[in-house]
């Protein structure tokens, strides 16, 4: 019945900073960028390599995220990568703080976490 994710929506506090992070640092391709005057809001559609999308929204005065990853609801976004070490090193070279690489005790696959500019937890997961 369900085939894949269509998109993931993220609300950011600083549109220019988050747009730079997701496009220039993470390298996601811009599909469309629209400013919605009636909402004073940007909507940026970003393409992920395997077809999924991220919708990046800006809204005036959004509420803060309630807590770190263990808040009720979406915990984090995980991206498949070929090499956690390579991508971690790249992110750190761009000034992004990355946690120490760990190995999942059940899958034996490497993973680590980093945050977007608003503290949204993002995971690198080795395929």
The residue segments making up the domain with residue 36 are 1-61
Q: Give the pLDDT mean for 51-74.
A: 78
Find the CATH number of the domain harbouring 108. Answer: 3.10.180.10
Q: Give the pLDDT mean for 102-122.
A: 93
Residue 69 lies in a domain: no
Beta strand pairing status for 121-126 and 77-81? parallel
Considering the domain architecture, whether residues 80 and 119 belong to the same structural domain is answered as: yes
**DSSP states along the chain:** ---S--EEEEEES-HHHHHHIIIIIS-PEEEEEEEEGGGTEEEEEEE-TTS-EEEEEE-SSPPPPSSSTTSSS---EEEEES-HHHHHHHHHHTT--BPPPEE-TTT--EEEEEE-TT--EEEEEE-
pTM of the model: 0.87
| Alpha carbon distance 25, 117 (integer Å) | 11
Residue 66 lies in a domain: no
- Cβ-based neighbour number of residue 106 at 10 Å: 6
Q: Which of 4-13, 61-70, 82-91 is predicted least confidently?
A: 61-70
Q: Give the chain's domain count.
A: 2
Listed residue (31, 25, 44, 28) closest to 91, CA to CA = 25
Considering the domain architecture, whether residues 94 and 46 belong to the same structural domain is answered as: no
Asked whether residue 74 carries a pLDDT value surpassing 80, the answer given is no
From 39, 61, 83, the end of a domain falls on 61
């Amino acid at each position: 019945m369900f085939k894949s994710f269509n998109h993931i929506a993220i609300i950011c506090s600083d549109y220019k900073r988050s747009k730079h992070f997701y496009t220039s640092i993470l390298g996601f391709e811009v599909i469309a960028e629209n400013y919605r005057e009636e909402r004073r809001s940007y909507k940026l559609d970003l393409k992920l390599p395997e077809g999924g999308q991220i919708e990046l929204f800006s809204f005036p005065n959004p509420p803060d995220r309630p807590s770190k990853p263990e808040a009720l609801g979406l915990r984090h976004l995980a991206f498949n990568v070929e090499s956690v070490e390579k991508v971690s090193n790249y992110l750190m070279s761009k000034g992004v703080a990355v946690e120490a690489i760990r190995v999942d005790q059940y899958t034996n696959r490497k993973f680590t976490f980093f945050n977007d500019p608003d503290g949204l937890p993002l995971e690198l997961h080795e395929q």
